[in-house]
Amino acid sequence: MKEIIIWITGGVIAYLIGSIPFGFLIAKTQGKDIRTVGSGNIGATNVFRSISKKLGIITFALDVGKGLCGVLLIPLLASKITSIGFDGMALPLLCGAMTIAGHNWTCFLGFKGGKGIATSAGMLIGLSPASVGIAFLGWLIAFLTTRYVSVASIIGCIVLAIVVWPFHMNQEGIWFPVVLTALAALGVWKHRANIARLRAGTESRFDFKKKNSS
pLDDT digit string (tens) for 1-23? 778 888 999 999 999 999 999 99
pLDDT digit string (tens) for 88-126? 889 999 999 999 999 999 999 999 999 999 999 999 999
d(CA 55, CA 82): 38
List the chain domain ranges.
1-110, 128-207
d(CA 183, CA 128): 14
Which parts of the chain sit beneath pLDDT 50?
Answer: 211-214
What's the confidence (pLDDT) of residue 214?
42
d(CA 35, CA 58): 18
Percent of the chain with pLDDT over 70: 97
Could you give the C-alpha distances from 168 to 5, 75, 97, 106, 163, in angstroms and in order?
28, 20, 17, 30, 9
3-state SS class at 12: helix
Tell the burial category of 142 from Cβ atoms under 10 Å away from its Cβ (0-12, 13-18, 19+).
buried
